[in-house]
Chains A and B, each alone.
Chain A
Amino acid sequence: GAVVSQHPSWVICKSGTSVKIECRSLDFQATTMFWYRQFPKQSLMLMATSNEGSKATYEQGVEKDKFLINHASLTLSTLTVTSAHPEDSSFYICRVLAGLNEQFFGPGTRLTVL
C-alpha cells in the first residue's frame, strides 16, 4: 500500500485564494521532506526542502513568502500556495526520506487556478 499520501489529490481554486497541500508519511517518521512542482510536459523542479522543527530551505527563484512550508511533525509537511494565480497551476509532489536509502514520492496534487 501507499507509504506517502497527499491531500487533496486535485484542487481548483479562484485566483487570489490560498491553497494548502498536505504530505503525510504513513507508518514511518520523516525528518526530511522535499516539495517539487511539475509544469505540463516538463520535469520535476525542486522547490524546497522541509525539515521537521526548523525552517524550510528554498531553492533559488522560489518565493518563500508565497509558498509557505510547515513541517510541524515527523509525519506531516504542508505547502500553502498563498494568493494563487493561474501561473501557479501545476502538479505538486512531495518526496519523503524514510532512511538512508529509502525514499518515496507522494501521489501528487494537481492544482488549477482559475
Chain B
Amino acid sequence: EDKVVQSPLSLVVHEGDTVTLNCSYEVTNFRSLLWYKQEKKAPTFLFMLTSSGIEKKSGRLSSILDKKELFSILNITATQTGDSAVYLCAVELQGAQKLVFGQGTRLTINP
C-alpha cells in the first residue's frame, strides 16, 4: 500500500525560530513529491521535487528530496506568525498521477 508519513504531527515554536518538517514515503511508482501549505481552505502549492539532492528555494522556505532514502524535508527559516498552517506532503504516482497525502504537520508560530 502506498504510504506517506509526516513528522512531527504538530510543532509549536517562537517567531524567528527555524523549523524542519519531515516527510518519508513508500510508494510503488514515484513521479514527484509535492509540498503544500493549508490554512483555512484548499492547499496552496509550495514545491514540486523530482530529483534527488537539488534544493528548491522560495524566500525563507526550502526543500530537498532524497530518493535513495525516500524522504524529503521542508525548512522554514526566521519563522513568522503568518507561517502558522498545516503543511502537507504528497507523493504523485506515475501513470494515474494520483496524489497520496501525508497526515500533515500542524505548525504554530507564537509571537
Binding site for B on A (CB under 8 A): 32, 34, 42-46, 49, 57, 93, 95, 97, 101, 103, 105-108
Structural contact, B42 and A43, CB atoms closer than 8 A:
no
Residues of chain B within 8 A (CB-CB) of A49 are 96, 98
Known contacts A43-B88, A46-B100; decide if A101 and B48 are in contact (CB<8 Å). Answer: yes
- Taking chain A's interface residues, is the majority helix, strand, or loop, or is none over half, making it mixed? strand
Contact between chains at B48 and A105 (CB < 8 Å): no
Q: Show the binding face of B for A, using Cβ within 8 Å.
A: 41-43, 45, 48, 88, 90, 96-104
10 residue pairs A–B, Cβ–Cβ below 8 Å: A43-B101, A43-B104, A44-B88, A44-B101, A46-B98, A46-B100, A49-B96, A95-B99, A105-B43, A108-B42
Interface centre among A45, A93, A105 (most CB of B within 10 A): A105
* Residues on A with beta carbons closer than 8 Å to the beta carbon of B103: 42-43
Q: Which of A32, A42, A43 has the most CB of B within 10 A?
A: A43
Q: Which residues of A contact B41 (CB under 8 A)?
A: 107-108
Q: What's the least CB distance linking A13 to chain B, in Å?
A: 20
- In Å, the complex CA distance between A106 and B42 comes to 7
Known contacts A43-B88, A43-B104, A106-B42, A32 near B99 by CB under 8 Å: no
**B99 and A107 contacting across the interface, CB-CB below 8 Å:** no
- Would you call B98 and A44 a contact (CB within 8 A)? no
Given A105-B42, A107-B41, residue A34 in contact with residue B98 (CB < 8 A): yes
Is B97 a contact partner of A32 (Cβ separation < 8 A)? yes
Tell me the complex Cα distance, A106–B41, Å: 9
Chain B residues with CB under 8 Å of A95's CB are: 99
Instruction: Say yes or no: B42 contacts A45, CB within 8 Å.
Output: no
